[in-house]
Amino acid sequence: MASSTISLSNVYQLSILMPRQQVNKLQMFPDILKQKLLKEVTNKLFIQKRMAMASLMRKLANQFQINQRIMLRLESLQQNEIIY
């Protein structure tokens, strides 16, 4: 009679430990590596996009400064023509 009853430890082993044992440990490791590599690739792409965006923003800022200097020079030339 005791052998036919289900104990809590048997339920625990059947529900939790057995599925873990069924997974091949050699299969788990490549899956983890794939996930890590995928994460690294996405991180590298993110960093590359950020660097490209930062470079573009620097170029735009430099062009804006150049345009500001040109506008100031044109304004000063126009004022000089009006005075003379």
Residue pLDDT, tens place only, 11-60: 666 655 555 555 566 666 777 888 889 999 999 999 999 999 999 999 99
Q: Is residue 46 part of a domain?
A: yes
Q: Which of 3-7, 8-12, 58-62 has the lowest mean pLDDT?
A: 3-7
Residue 15 lies in a domain: no
The answer to the question of residue 48 being in a domain is yes
Residue 55 located in a structural domain: yes
The CA-CA-CA angle for residues 33, 13, 21, to 5°, reads: 30
**Domain tally, the chain:** 1
Token pair 């040109």 is found at 70
| Predicted confidence band of residue 1 (pLDDT cuts 50, 70, 90) | very low
| pLDDT at res. 55 | 95
Domain residue limits at 58: 24-83
Residue 27: what pLDDT?
A: 66
CA–CA gap between residue 13 and residue 59 (Å, rounded) = 63
Is 36 within the bounds of a domain? Answer: yes
CA–CA distances in Å: residue 19 to residues 5, 8, 12, 31, 57: 22, 17, 11, 17, 53
The pLDDT of residue 31: 79
